[in-house]
Amino acid sequence: MLPACTAPGLPANAEEQALRARSGTLTLKGSSFDPRAERRTMSILTAYLSFRDNAREAMTFYRSVLGGSLDLVEFSSFPQMPHDPADAHLIMHSWLTTDDGMVLAGSDTPTGMDHQAPQGISVSVSCEDVDRARSIWDGLSDGGTITMALGAPPWGGLFGMLVDRFGISWMVTADQTQ
């Protein structure tokens, strides 16, 4: 099991979160999130990355950095949906679910649809464990461009920003109070 690294405010029950993430809901049973609730459902916000034609490579890279399980679904898996036969091997949907509860999704952009590189948005990873944050930083920065070195910001802990080898902006932060 990897050290905790989740978005602030999300429940720590990574197994339950991972099971429900794909359906867009999260069901908590007897969690400390709301001790009065036997069952609670809430919405989940997931970063969904768009690639021209290298989602498989990118998502496999993210799995190597973040760990977890990766599901890849090709356009060919849905022959009833119209698509250019040349796109059959491209990724229609992918989901990376880490052992510590992070979920990242992505897909390729099929022929005939405009693809624009992402701008004005970053994927943020907040870790409780400094070593996990450094490991993620080291992995994501390999082949990427560091825009703000991982270091101690004025508010404490660790913080850094980079653009990875696939053109995705990331912010990595860690609470150093441990």
Mean pLDDT (the chain) is 82
Q: Could you tell me if residue 126 is inside a domain?
A: yes
Between 167 and 119, residue with greater pLDDT: 167
52-59 average pLDDT score: 97
Which has more pLDDT, 178 or 163? 163
Summarize pLDDT for 3-41 with one digit per residue, the tens: 445 443 334 444 444 444 444 433 333 333 344 445 557
Q: Is residue 150 part of a domain?
A: yes
80 within a domain of the structure (yes/no): no
Average pLDDT over residues 116-128: 93
Comparing 79-83, 88-92, 117-121, 146-150, the range with the smallest average pLDDT is: 79-83
Say if 123 falls within a structural domain.
yes
| Residue 23 placed within a domain | no
What pLDDT sits at residue 40? 59
State how far the Cα of 178 lies from the Cα of 171, in Å rounded to an integer. 20
The span from the CA of 107 to the CA of 119, in Å, is 17
Residue 130's domain comprises 118-178
Name the residue type at position 56: R
Assess whether pLDDT exceeds 70 at residue 65: yes
Q: What is the pLDDT of residue 82?
A: 81
In a domain, 140, yes or no: yes
pLDDT for 30: 36
Provide the CATH number for the domain around residue 154.
Answer: 3.10.180.10
**pLDDT > 70: percent of the chain:** 75
Instruction: Kindly list the distances between the CA atom of residue 55 and the CA atoms of 12, 28, 173, in Å, as whole numbers in the listed order.
Output: 28, 31, 25
Q: Is residue 175, in this structure, part of any structural domain at all?
A: yes
Assigned token pair, 109 = 């952009």
Residue at 152 is within a domain: yes
| Predicted pLDDT at 38 | 53
Q: Which two tokens stand for residue 99?
A: 């052992």
8 Å CB contact between 96 and 66? yes
- 130 membership: H or E segment, kind and range: helix 130-141
Number of domains, the chain: 1
pLDDT (tens digit, 9 = 90+) per residue, 92-116?
999 999 999 999 999 999 998 999 9
